[in-house]
Structure 1
């Protein structure tokens, strides 16, 4: 296969991922937080522990904006900062108990929508999808 064609398929695929992500996550965030804060919490939930600079990079935010949003999430009791025991200058961000509860609620709603979307998929289709996701994760979306 031509790598340029493969690249354009990847571009189309990632655009579809963004569209489906928007559909699955629509209206799942609490009214207590902004969309930016929800995005940060979602990233922390699947990647914790994370550093403030990792949040900044992943969310395409400046460090001052990231610090402000992390402070707001700390004040709301949704995240906790933990200082590295070896390098005291380094901090890690984790979800607090309340943050975990909020994200578990959001993920339950997303899961319900996903299961509805997959309701007509055969067992073979589900196995194919799982293998495809594992392959994409290993070969394209690795870190």
Structure 2
């Protein structure tokens, strides 16, 4: 396949995947937090602990905006920050037990949404899609999950 066609298909797929991800996140996020705050919580749910810089890079936010959003989440008792023992200038942000509960409930809701949306797929098709996802992860993201 010529590279321009590959780039076009990859861009189209990426755009549609981004729309789907945004829709799913909007559907599963609790009403009392913003989508930006939920994205931070989702990142922490997958990473366990992260610095303000890592959170900002993932969410595409400046450090002051990241700090402001994390402070709001601390106020809601969904995250806590702790100083790095080796460098007191660096703080790690982690989910609190209520934050973990909220994200576990959101994760369960996400599984239900995905199951419902793709219930028309038979087991062979699901296997085929999973293999395709492994291949995409390996070839495009460098995750090395494909065999």
- Going from structure 1 to structure 2, the CA distance change for 1:26 and 1:69 (only over 3 Å counts) comes to closer
Moved more, 62-71 or 12-21: 12-21
**Distance of aligned partners of 1:15 and 1:23 in 2 relative to their CA distance in 1, 3 Å threshold:** same
Question: TM-score, length-normalised on structure 2?
Answer: 0.87
Counterpart of 1:139 in structure 2 is 139
State the aligned residue count: 143
Deviations, residues 27-74 of structure 1 (Å, cap 9, x unaligned): 322222112111111121122321111111111111101001111111
Where does residue 123 of structure 1 map in the other structure?
A: 123
- Residues 18 and 84 of structure 1: CA distance in aligned 2, closer, same or farther (over 3 Å): same
Question: 1:79 maps to which residue?
Answer: 79
Question: Counterpart of 2:28 in 1: which secondary structure?
Answer: coil
Shift of 1:86: 2.7
Q: Distance in 2 between matches of 1:142 and 1:44?
A: 22
Match of 1:113 in 2: 113
Which runs of 5 or more structure 1 residues have no equivalent in the other structure?
none
1:142 to partner: Cα distance:
4.0
1:138–1:21 distance in 2 versus 1, CA, 3 Å: same
Per mean C-alpha deviation after superposition, the further-off stretch among 87-96 and 3-12 is 87-96
Superposed displacement of residue 141, structure 1: 2.6
RMSD of aligned C-alpha atoms?
A: 1.7
Higher relative contact order (CA 8 A, sep 6+): 1
Counterpart for residue 45 of structure 1? 45
- Segments of 5+ residues of structure 2 without an aligned counterpart are none
Task: Check whether the contact 2:56–2:66 (CA below 8 A) recurs between aligned residues.
Answer: yes
Cα offset, 1:105, TM superposition: 1.4
**Runs of 4+ in structure 1 displaced over 3 angstroms?**
none
Cα deviation digits, residues 70-97 of structure 1 (max 9, x gap): 1111111111223223333322221111
